[in-house]
């Protein structure tokens, strides 16, 4: 039987502001859309946490046996500097500063994004569409909203009429803003004067002469508003109504509020059944920001090359650290907190390494099926990974007691304990035993050093020392082989 049939999953719906039982539109299937990155700079750690939160959701649905279509877009046009409808396109600006093509910016940072996701073992989505690949679909939605009288054209740009929409629908319901607060830009900036009301947002913007990223449309040569791509791509790949829409907390307003308005108007239905928002990551208690220097890049964690870190940490330790907090809680990153997580991660992995050698007894002294149920209960309660991890440590305690002969399990319970720990640690949490990888890298480095010292000893005709290094390494299970190309080694 598929696991989803016996697991009632509850999800905190940010729109309803409560936990709700998850009922998919199509039995056994899940359609999920998550707002992806704007590819104009290196992905930062806060984004990594957001995408990891939805990777956990994706992995758990798959584990439960659902067929999941997970769509996560790449924003490669239309996202202006200040999140409102003014300023330079983020990608075009970077291209101008670095004197390269906008599509080179897109390529460079898309590759960086994919590499970073892979390092953290975030699974790729089922479809990863781009904004520039869906300009035609976006133009069709603008036409549709204009036809329905919910948008207006000014000087070649098209704006969504928020006040008019709000007469029949509730704009601001997701972010909890009333219509007076929903002003997209309070400052009198260029472009604002074209709007009837400051709450209105752009569906299409006419490109200024220096704006390079532009497409023809019935209104002007221009580009789509930032919010429109997600409506176009989620509708195209998941339908007018789909199960889950996710993103970072900071996207609730204006981005998701605008998506809801656009889809409601164009498709005539509320687009999403469950809205999910992942919380922020702070660094040493402060918001992360490049401008203040309170910032760490993913690669700096792996190399330890940042003055905010006392040492390097592996991707899985970082992943474990992040998953030790619930996705809706704020999480503070610090070197001390990471060191504590590293100890916990090693303890967990030590337990996992013992799993294949567990003794089998004729009867069980532990209640394994209750423990398994508790693991599922934690994840069924809005993907509560910290509670799950606490139960996994309980499982590791069982493993140690069994190895010490203090408790016993019969064969069926041994398999259940093994499978459950492995499934949750590897498949659901997506952890990899990479600390032992780091250790083996270090071991390789140490052996290479000894080979160099032995070579020096031989050059100085110190045969006694040279032999001693070779022989003592052999006792430790490291065999040196001298060849034409130099000395190589194998570890048994
Ligand atoms: Zn989006």
Tokens, residue 97:
């500063």
The alpha carbon of 220 and the centre of ligand 1 are apart by a number of angstroms equal to 24
Tokens, residue 91:
């990608």
Structure-token match 């046996």, residue found: 65
CA atoms within 13 A on the CB side of 408: 7
The alpha carbon of 36 and the centre of ligand 1 are apart by a number of angstroms equal to 7
Task: Tell me: do 224 and 309 sit in the same domain.
Answer: no
The alpha carbon of 462 and the centre of ligand 1 are apart by a number of angstroms equal to 68
The alpha carbon of 439 and the centre of ligand 1 are apart by a number of angstroms equal to 40
Task: Tell me: do 243 and 301 sit in the same domain.
Answer: no
Q: Which pLDDT band, with edges at 50, 70 and 90, does 185 fall under?
A: low
The alpha carbon of 293 and the centre of ligand 1 are apart by a number of angstroms equal to 28
Q: Please, are residues 481 and 489 in contact by the beta-carbon 8 Å criterion?
A: yes
Residue 382 above 50 pLDDT?
yes
The alpha carbon of 38 and the centre of ligand 1 are apart by a number of angstroms equal to 10
Q: How far apart are CA 323 and CA 340, in angstroms?
A: 13
Task: Tell me: do 146 and 109 sit in the same domain.
Answer: yes
> Global pTM?
0.88
The alpha carbon of 74 and the centre of ligand 1 are apart by a number of angstroms equal to 9
Task: Tell me: do 443 and 354 sit in the same domain.
Answer: no
**Per-residue model confidence as pLDDT tens digits over 297-320:** 999 999 888 999 998 999 999 999
Of residues 436 and 201, more confidently modeled? 201
Q: Please, are residues 81 and 90 in contact by the beta-carbon 8 Å criterion?
A: yes
The alpha carbon of 489 and the centre of ligand 1 are apart by a number of angstroms equal to 52
Helices and strands (DSSP H and E) totals, the chain: 16, 15
Q: How far apart are CA 98 and CA 101, in angstroms?
A: 9
Task: Tell me: do 454 and 326 sit in the same domain.
Answer: no
Domain count, the chain: 3
Preceding omega of 254 cis (within 30 degrees of 0): yes
Q: Please, are residues 8 and 24 in contact by the beta-carbon 8 Å criterion?
A: no
The alpha carbon of 247 and the centre of ligand 1 are apart by a number of angstroms equal to 7
**DSSP per position, 52-73:** HHHHHHHHHHHHTT-EEEEEE-
Task: Tell me: do 363 and 470 sit in the same domain.
Answer: no
Task: Tell me: do 298 and 331 sit in the same domain.
Answer: yes
Q: Residue 330: which residues within 8 A CB-CB, separation 6 or more?
A: 279, 280, 281, 282
Write down the pLDDT at residue 445.
84
**Structural domain boundaries, residue 294:** 282-428
Give the domain-ending residue among 409, 428, 447.
428
Write down the pLDDT at residue 83.
56
Q: How far apart are CA 316 and CA 312, in angstroms?
A: 12
Give the domain-ending residue among 278, 311, 333.
278
Say which CATH number the domain at 120 has: 3.40.50.620
Write down the pLDDT at residue 99.
84
The alpha carbon of 474 and the centre of ligand 1 are apart by a number of angstroms equal to 58
Q: How far apart are CA 97 and CA 112, in angstroms?
A: 19
- Residue burial 153-190, b: 16+ Cβ < 10 Å; e: rest: beebbbbbbbebbbeeeebbebbebeeeebbbbeeeee
The residue-averaged pLDDT of 283-290 equals 86
The alpha carbon of 208 and the centre of ligand 1 are apart by a number of angstroms equal to 24
Task: Tell me: do 196 and 263 sit in the same domain.
Answer: yes
The alpha carbon of 227 and the centre of ligand 1 are apart by a number of angstroms equal to 6
Give the domain-ending residue among 373, 399, 428.
428
Task: Tell me: do 107 and 205 sit in the same domain.
Answer: yes
Q: Residue 379: which residues within 8 A CB-CB, separation 6 or more?
A: 9, 60, 385, 388, 428
Helix (H, G, I), strand (E, B) or coil at 234: helix
Residue 435 above 80 pLDDT?
no
Residue 487 above 80 pLDDT?
yes
The alpha carbon of 35 and the centre of ligand 1 are apart by a number of angstroms equal to 4
Residue 187 above 50 pLDDT?
no
Task: Tell me: do 274 and 422 sit in the same domain.
Answer: no
């Amino acid at each position: 039987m598929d696991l989803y049939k016996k697991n009632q999953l509850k999800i905190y719906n940010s729109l309803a502001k409560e936990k709700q039982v998850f009922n998919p539109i199509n039995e056994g299937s899940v359609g999920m859309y998550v707002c992806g990155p704007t590819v104009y700079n290196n992905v930062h750690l806060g984004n990594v946490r957001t995408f990891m939160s939805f990777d956990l959701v994706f992995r758990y649905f798959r584990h439960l046996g659902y067929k999941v279509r997970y769509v996560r877009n790449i924003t490669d046009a239309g996202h202006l500097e200040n999140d409102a409808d003014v300023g330079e396109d983020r990608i075009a600006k970077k291209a101008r500063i670095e004197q390269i093509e906008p599509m080179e910016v897109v390529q460079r940072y898309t590759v960086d994004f994919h590499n970073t996701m892979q390092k953290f073992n975030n699974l790729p989505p089922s479809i990863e569409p781009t904004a520039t690949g869906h300009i035609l679909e976006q133009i069709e939605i603008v036409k549709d909203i204009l036809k329905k009288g919910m948008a207006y054209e000014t000087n070649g740009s098209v704006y969504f009429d928020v006040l008019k929409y709000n007469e029949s629908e509730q704009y601001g319901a997701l972010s909890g803003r009333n219509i007076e607060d929903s002003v997209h830009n309070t400052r009198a900036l260029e472009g604002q004067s074209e709007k009837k009301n400051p709450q209105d947002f752009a569906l299409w913007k006419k490109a200024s002469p220096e704006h390079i990223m532009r497409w023809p449309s019935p209104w002007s040569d221009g580009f789509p508003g930032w919010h429109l791509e997600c409506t176009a791509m989620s509708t195209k790949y998941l339908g007018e109504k789909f199960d889950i829409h996710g993103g970072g907390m900071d996207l609730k307003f204006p981005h998701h509020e605008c998506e809801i308005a656009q889809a409601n108007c164009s498709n005539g239905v509320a687009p999403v059944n469950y809205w999910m928002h992942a919380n922020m990551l702070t660094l040493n208690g402060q918001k992360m920001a490049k401008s203040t220097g309170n910032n760490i890049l993913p690669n700096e964690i792996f190399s330890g090359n940042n003055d905010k870190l006392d040492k390097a940490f592996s991707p899985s330790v970082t992943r474990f650290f992040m998953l030790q907090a619930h996705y809706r809680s704020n999480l503070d990153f610090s070197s001390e907190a990471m060191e504590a997580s590293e100890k916990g991660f090693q303890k967990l992995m030590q337990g996992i390494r013992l799993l294949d050698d567990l003794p089998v007894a004729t009867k069980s002294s532990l209640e394994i099926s209750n423990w398994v149920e508790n693991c599922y209960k934690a994840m069924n309660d809005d993907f509560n990974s910290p509670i799950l991890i606490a139960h996994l440590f309980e499982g590791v305690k069982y493993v140690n007691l069994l190895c010490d002969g203090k408790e016993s399990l019969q064969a069926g319970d041994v398999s259940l304990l093994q499978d459950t720990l492995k499934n949750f640690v590897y498949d659901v949490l997506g952890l990899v035993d990479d600390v032992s990888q780091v250790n083996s890298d270090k071991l390789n480095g140490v052996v290479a050093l000894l080979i160099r010292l032995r070579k020096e000893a031989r050059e100085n005709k110190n045969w006694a020392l040279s032999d001693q290094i070779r022989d003592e390494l052999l006792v430790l299970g490291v065999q040196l082989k001298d060849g034409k190309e130099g000395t190589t080694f194998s570890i048994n």
